[in-house]
Amino acid sequence: MRIIRTKNYEEMSHAAAQLIAAQITLKPNCVLGLATGSSPVGAYQQLIQWYEQGKLDFSAVRSVNLDEYAGLTPDHDQSYAYFMRHNLFDHVNIDLANTNVPSGISGDDECTRYDQLIANFGGIDLQLLGLGVNGHIGFNEPDDHFSLGTHKVTLTESTREANKRFFASLDEVPTHAYTMGTRDILQARRVVMVASGENKAEAVKQAFFGPITPSMPASILQFHPDFVLVADEAALSLI
Ligand code: F6R
């Protein structure tokens, strides 16, 4: 595990975008595992800027997103499919047909289909992650075991609470989601996590400087052979 320590969110975003850009340069048809939420937005903005300057080409890139809320259609403005178009896909030359987000409305067959899709791609070259305040990765919440493939989860109150800022009220935050499993994430050849802000400091400390345990799902990344944590000073303030 490597840690890239940055001063603030802006520097963190720049450093993470450099790793993603390096992956695209190394393998133009790479498979990127992508995340939503506040943490990766700055990195996506940097990638868009490099694309606009002619420094990056997404034309052969393929992508698989980590997760989607159950019950939201891709055109719902809080769906993760919508988020990805709005924050990245609509602004670069990626072929939308090569982008994938789990369907929130297809039912449980979606889980098998999504894992098969990842397998057919030959796995993920670089997986980008954020970190939940309770240590979740994707929507793999604290549990008594590490999850395997894509599955449907019940969101914890802490996660719904953390995500309610994007919705009109807590009642509107979906109660369930589809997420890649911990095994799917760990099988990516490279994993890059972005973490920013004091509210992530406790999770960073427990996940990467404590025991490997499914009660802190991100802790399993300690086992990954090519894991980089890109975090700002606030997120690293407890270590
Ligand atoms: C998003 C995802 C989540 C977030 C996490 C942190 O696709 O899978 O695990 O990465 O909830 O969210 P932010 O970045 O909003 O603090």
CA distance 233 to 116: 39
In ligand 1, the atom with minimum distance to the C-alpha of 163 is 15
| Domain assignment present for 230 | no
| Domain assignment present for 206 | yes
| Residue 67 CB less than 6 A away from ligand 1 | yes
| Domain assignment present for 62 | yes
| Domain assignment present for 40 | yes
In ligand 1, the atom with minimum distance to the C-alpha of 36 is 7
Helix, strand, coil percentages in the chain from 3-state DSSP, rounded to 5: 40, 20, 45
Hey, whose CA ends up nearest to atom 5 of ligand 1? 132
Q: What is the pLDDT of residue 158?
A: 87
Longest Cα pair distance anywhere in the chain, in angstroms?
47
| Residue 136 CB less than 6 A away from ligand 1 | yes
Q: Which domain holds residue 39?
A: 2-218
Q: For the packed helices 9-26 and 41-52, what is the interaxial angle rounded to 10 degrees?
A: 50
From ligand 1's centre to the CA of 67, what distance in Å?
10
| Domain assignment present for 238 | no
Catalytic position from the list 65, 100, 134, 140: 134
Q: What is the pLDDT of residue 72?
A: 95
Catalytic position from the list 141, 151, 163, 184: 141
Label residue 55 exposed, middle or buried (CB < 10 Å: 0-12, 13-18, 19+): exposed
The residues, ordered by sequence, that sit 6+ positions from 164 with a Cβ below 8 Å of its Cβ are: 170, 172, 173
Q: What is the pLDDT of residue 190?
A: 98
Cα-Cα-Cα-Cα dihedral sign, residues 37, 144, 100, 103: negative
| Domain assignment present for 52 | yes
Our answer to whether residue 87 is catalytic in this structure is: no
| Domain assignment present for 236 | no
**Number of separate domains in the chain:** 1
| Domain assignment present for 146 | yes
| pTM (predicted TM-score) | 0.97
Q: What is the pLDDT of residue 153?
A: 94
Q: What is the pLDDT of residue 107?
A: 85
CATH of the domain at 143: 3.40.50.1360
Per-residue pLDDT of the chain (239 residues; tens, 9 = 90+): 999 999 999 999 999 999 999 999 999 999 999 999 999 999 999 999 999 999 999 999 999 999 999 999 999 999 999 999 999 999 999 999 999 999 999 987 999 999 999 999 999 999 999 999 999 999 999 999 999 999 999 998 988 998 898 899 999 999 999 999 999 999 999 999 999 999 999 999 999 999 999 999 999 999 999 999 999 999 999 99
CB 70 within 8 A of CB 152: yes
Hey, whose CA ends up nearest to atom 10 of ligand 1? 130
Q: 3-state class of 89 per DSSP?
A: helix
Label residue 195 exposed, middle or buried (CB < 10 Å: 0-12, 13-18, 19+): buried
From ligand 1's centre to the CA of 132, what distance in Å?
6
Our answer to whether residue 136 is catalytic in this structure is: yes
